[in-house]
Structure 1
Amino acid sequence: MGDRDAAMAAIRSVYLITGRINTGTTLAETLQLIVDAVVDGIGFTVAVVNYLHPEGEYEAVALAGSEEARATLLGARYPAEVLDEYLERAEAWGQLRYLPHERHSAHIHSWVPDEVPGGDGVPEEERWHPLDALFAPLRAPDGELVGILGVDLPADGRRPGPLQRELLEMLAAQAGIAINNANLVEALQRERRHLAASEEAFRLAFTGAGSGMCMIGVDGATQARLTRVNPALCELLGRAEAELLDRPVADLLHPDDLDLARLAFAAATTGKGIPVRDYEIRCVRGDGAVIWVATTLSLVAGPPAFGILQVQDVTGRKAAEADLVRRASRDPLTGLANRDALASPLAAAVRRARAGRGDSALLFCDLDDFKSVNDTLGHDAGDAVLIAVAQRLCALVRPSDTVARLGGDEFVVLAEDLAGLDAAGVAALVDRIERAVSAPVVHDGHVLRVRVSVGAAVIDATAGDAGAALRTADRAMYQVKGHRHGRGAADRVIAHGEHFGAPGGMPLLRLAEG
């Protein structure tokens, strides 16, 4: 076989051998395959890979060909700058670095064989010396150095010639690629393990969370559907997991809160991942009960994108808040609306009247004989009268009307949207109020009687404001008190539509003289 044929055979052999080094499933296995390939196919009897760790330190991690060398070198670590400085003494053989024995340094940890096999008969100038060393840098495809391959003891006892050097360069190039690939595979496996651990941690936190949590699909066909729920949410909503999965979120919300939920969802999906916090909406449980929940919605970028919704039951707090509002707007003795609570419906009645959408009547009621009850029988008796009057007034009006206690023995009735309002209709209501209030109240063995003076004001298109309406009715009430011995209510209520000097042109229902 000629030199050319031998060279081609050697190159084909190297290609076959280098194919094996890419079959490693781990970095350690790949490094061992590299040194085995050197010993099997390149003609050196010892090979070691010094792997460059990310922190900048070489370590002898794989060795083939000599158990003595293995025991001496494996695990040895060198700061990168020390080995690099050592290699600066070497001669450049293409990509290889040859360090002749004359330049050997005892300051770096190394293995020196006792003799070189196969060196007999080789001229001195061609013979491999026990202190000679040859190194091949191992580089990733982007040129980054990943290690140094060291070889020793050529099988023929000679310094490597051009063909052997070229074969070593070829193998080193493939080895660098194989190491890079192994690093990528291990990095991917680490990432998968990390993701698996993260998923397990999330699963444990998600499942064991004391508050309701769910994942919501926000992409494609799963948009705004529940894709994962935890036990706390199932308990909160009174529904089984199977009943919730793949269900549209809108199915679980109170119809009146759908628009608010859509706004929150839009804010989360367009807000660049910023959580939308503390939206309070109502949900419908499996048993039909309505509960209040506070929600925090966070978007997680995909693909596929999804949202994580945290849900906290705030029904108790909302009920407490509503009770505080109710207490603040209610008279504590009678349960009627107080002066502050009257302001809103009264202002609304004025606005409707000015817009031509219906007139209302405002009746100001003051008890005439109440002080004598308190002075004679005490405040308990007076309270019993006030409660009875409140109950009777409420019984006389429609659910849409408002009965309020302004304080003391003053009450107000707002009768809204009175179609075809006239003096006779208002007078009839006044008469019913007078008769109902004057009925006896029995308390602690006593029969109590009080009367009421009622002043009436019409709220129509000429109305000024709520304050003017209240002042007009109050003034009318005092006029009634001055005419207690006049004729019946139907005779005394006249002049509907007459502007009896009321501020803002407020019509006044006043008593006839005489």
Structure 2
Amino acid sequence: MTERDGVMDEVASVVRLDTAGDVYRLITDIHAQRDLAGTMQAVVDAVVQAVGFGVAAVSIVRPDGQFKTIAVAGSDQARHQLLGTERPLSEYEDEFEVADNWGRLKFVPAERAPVDSSLGWVPDLAVSSHSNAWHPLDALFAPLRSSAGELTGVLSVDLPQDGLRPSASQRQLLEVLSVEAGNALDNALLAERLRTGEEIFRQAFDGTAGGMALIGIDGDDAGQFVRVNPAFCRIVGYAAEELLRMTPEDLTHAEDRATDKQLIRDLITGRSNLYRREKRYLHHRGTPVWVTVTATVARSDDGSPLCAVSQVEDISLRRAQLEELHHQARHDPLTNLPNRTLIFERLHQSVKAARLLGKPGALLFLDLDDFKLINDQHGHRVGDQVLAMIGPRIRSVVREPDLVGRLGGDEFVVIADNLDLESAHRLAHRIEVAVSAPITNKGVAVSLTVSVGASPITASGGDAAQILQDADQAMYRNKTEIRRPRLG
């Protein structure tokens, strides 16, 4: 038999319990509660049932330092008067200072009760002449402490059922219960903090406007979504239960997966602390969704990874706006054809490709003949409409990879890779035929011809500016000759 078992048997023999097992049952019931309020109510119920006091109350320390009474047992009047009341720590300290120390307990006889303290509930009890009688102003406290020794609460008892101050056995049992109550309060407060933290996390996680997801790193859920918020579900169009059967790779566009794997591997192994990139997810409908994904790894104290925390922002609209601005900066607003900026970018690429691959290409310079007459005769509005119709006509006779662009005014260019001189002649002829077909727009009929000059793009040829200048000069020569050869 252990020392504690001996104490249990002794106190059980003199209080309202049949066996030490009943004491253990009460203690087990205290620790079995699921929340703070239930735990403390089990404590005061045990004190009233086991120790022989008519009233028991527990007050716990709040974050502001005040002690709040959260559980009362034994008297409806006491419960009504005490439950929810608050006292400062200083009042307990004043009473503890004048108290008799009964082991862990603090007993304040009536004659030493601080006159300026709040007495709380005072029982309606006649003052007895018995030498060991309980006085209505007597107070008995059991400070509740955490495993670290920190004061976390106070258990108060009153109104002994036999009208006498507690016996040694009663004190021992009250001490035992107060120790268990302190441990239970410590655990309950920890659980409460954990639940509060989880609730705060849940509300922040589920309520944030941005997408969030937790991704498993180890075990059966390694690589899978283990938690997703509603915003993330909206971004990708999947229900939460569907996403929890998927991995980030399942959502990622095929063209973005290779880079993704290396970045994720670096994050998990600790070679990098942050994963951040713009990439495409595939929506439930199969359409791409541009997102910015920022991810970090939550780690345990020993540095081992627990899970990845991913924040996802839908940037589809912003991406579309940027692409539109980029398009506008590189395209002619009237014809929507590539403008001078994009023409020179492509021409530089063609020169580089010709030098690397040794395959020639060609640049065709087009100038509409006497276009000024259309503006003079029909106005600039009609002239603009004619220019807008020229692009599709040229586009219809060139190859898919060839670039058709507008330099400005009535000047257009075609850049064609892997095109020899003979093929360039044939292409120029097709363009002349396409452009010269009559144009009718809102009852106005016009006819156009076009002068074309060409310059080869070769491995040993000039740079982009020189090639364009050579094609311009060839076009000018063709325009001024009576029998204009197609190519100079």
How does the TM-score come out when normalised to structure 1?
0.66
Give the 3-state SS of the residue equivalent to 1:346 in structure 2. Answer: helix
Give the 3-state SS of the residue equivalent to 2:346 in structure 1. Answer: helix
- C-alpha distance 285-20 of structure 1, shift in aligned 2 (>3 A): closer
Unaligned 5+ segments in structure 2 are: 1-5, 34-38, 300-304
| Corresponding residue of 1:351 | 352
Contact 1:441 1:448 in 2 (8 A): yes
| Corresponding residue of 2:221 | 222
What amino acid is the match of 1:350? V
| Corresponding residue of 2:469 | 471
Which has more radius of gyration? Answer: 1
Give the 3-state SS of the residue equivalent to 2:396 in structure 1. Answer: helix
For 1:74-473, what aligned pairs fall within 5 Å after superposition? 80-82=89-91, 84-86=93-95, 88-89=97-98, 109=119, 113-116=126-129, 127-128=131-132, 135=140, 137-140=142-145, 142-145=148-151, 146-147=153-154, 165=168, 167-168=169-170, 170-184=172-186, 186-187=188-189, 190=192, 194=196, 205=207, 216-227=215-226, 244-259=243-258, 262=261, 279=278, 281-286=280-285, 288=286, 290-295=287-292, 301=298, 305=307, 307=309, 310=312, 312=314, 314=316, 318=319, 322-376=323-377, 378-379=379-380, 382=383, 386=387, 389-418=390-419, 421-422=420-421, 424-434=422-432, 437=435, 444=443, 448-452=447-451, 454-473=452-471
Alignment of 1:19 onto 2:24:
yes
How far residue 466 of structure 1 moved from its aligned partner, in angstroms, is 1.3
Single out whichever of 321-330 and 148-157 deviates more from structure 2.
148-157
CA distance in 1, matches of 2:7, 2:223: 68
| Corresponding residue of 1:34 | 47
How far residue 459 of structure 1 moved from its aligned partner, in angstroms, is 1.8
**Cα-to-partner distance string for 1:300-336 (whole Å, 9 max, x where unaligned):** 848963545556483x665565455444433344443
Give the 3-state SS of the residue equivalent to 1:331 in structure 2. Answer: coil
How far residue 69 of structure 1 moved from its aligned partner, in angstroms, is 11
Give the 3-state SS of the residue equivalent to 2:461 in structure 1. Answer: coil
How far residue 365 of structure 1 moved from its aligned partner, in angstroms, is 2.4
CA distance in 1, matches of 2:405, 2:245: 50
CA distance in 2, matches of 1:436, 1:92: 110
Q: What percent identity do the matched residue pairs reach?
A: 29
CA distance in 2, matches of 1:404, 1:8: 97
CA distance in 2, matches of 1:346, 1:93: 97
- C-alpha distance 150-399 of structure 1, shift in aligned 2 (>3 A): closer
CA distance in 2, matches of 1:69, 1:128: 26
How far residue 362 of structure 1 moved from its aligned partner, in angstroms, is 1.5
CA distance in 2, matches of 1:439, 1:231: 58
Contact 1:268 1:299 in 2 (8 A): yes
How far residue 36 of structure 1 moved from its aligned partner, in angstroms, is 4.3
Give the 3-state SS of the residue equivalent to 1:365 in structure 2. Answer: strand
How far residue 280 of structure 1 moved from its aligned partner, in angstroms, is 5.1
CA distance in 1, matches of 2:25, 2:356: 92
What amino acid is the match of 1:170? Q
What amino acid is the match of 2:254? P
How far residue 359 of structure 1 moved from its aligned partner, in angstroms, is 1.8
CA distance in 2, matches of 1:95, 1:229: 50
Contact 2:354 2:360 in 1 (8 A): yes
| Corresponding residue of 2:481 | 483
CA distance in 2, matches of 1:276, 1:397: 42
CA distance in 1, matches of 2:386, 2:139: 114
CA distance in 1, matches of 2:8, 2:24: 17
How far residue 251 of structure 1 moved from its aligned partner, in angstroms, is 3.1
- C-alpha distance 238-155 of structure 1, shift in aligned 2 (>3 A): closer
- C-alpha distance 300-116 of structure 1, shift in aligned 2 (>3 A): farther
| Corresponding residue of 1:503 | none
**Cα-to-partner distance string for 1:418-467 (whole Å, 9 max, x where unaligned):** 2xx35x44444445545555566567575635352x33222222234211
Give the 3-state SS of the residue equivalent to 2:412 in structure 1. Answer: strand
CA distance in 1, matches of 2:348, 2:366: 19
Give the 3-state SS of the residue equivalent to 2:455 in structure 1. Answer: strand
| Corresponding residue of 2:302 | none
CA distance in 2, matches of 1:52, 1:178: 15
Contact 2:41 2:73 in 1 (8 A): no
| Corresponding residue of 2:3 | none
What amino acid is the match of 2:255? D
How far residue 381 of structure 1 moved from its aligned partner, in angstroms, is 6.2
Single out whichever of 366-375 and 187-196 deviates more from structure 2.
187-196
Contact 1:261 1:281 in 2 (8 A): no
**Cα-to-partner distance string for 1:157-210 (whole Å, 9 max, x where unaligned):** 8x99xxx54x4553243122122134245436645764786688579859xx8x
What amino acid is the match of 1:174? V
- Over the aligned positions, Cα root-mean-square deviation in angstroms equals 5.1
CA distance in 2, matches of 1:377, 1:153: 113
What amino acid is the match of 1:176? S
Give the 3-state SS of the residue equivalent to 1:53 in structure 2. Answer: strand
How far residue 352 of structure 1 moved from its aligned partner, in angstroms, is 1.5
Contact 1:392 1:436 in 2 (8 A): yes
CA distance in 2, matches of 1:377, 1:130: 116
**Cα-to-partner distance string for 1:115-143 (whole Å, 9 max, x where unaligned):** 256xxxxxxxxx43666968564453544
Contact 2:215 2:223 in 1 (8 A): yes
What amino acid is the match of 1:13? S
CA distance in 2, matches of 1:169, 1:483: 123
| Corresponding residue of 1:53 | 60
How far residue 59 of structure 1 moved from its aligned partner, in angstroms, is 6.5
Contact 2:142 2:156 in 1 (8 A): yes
CA distance in 1, matches of 2:382, 2:280: 46
- C-alpha distance 338-98 of structure 1, shift in aligned 2 (>3 A): closer
- C-alpha distance 35-155 of structure 1, shift in aligned 2 (>3 A): same
Contact 1:50 1:58 in 2 (8 A): no
Unaligned 5+ segments in structure 1 are: 1-5, 40-45, 118-126, 494-509
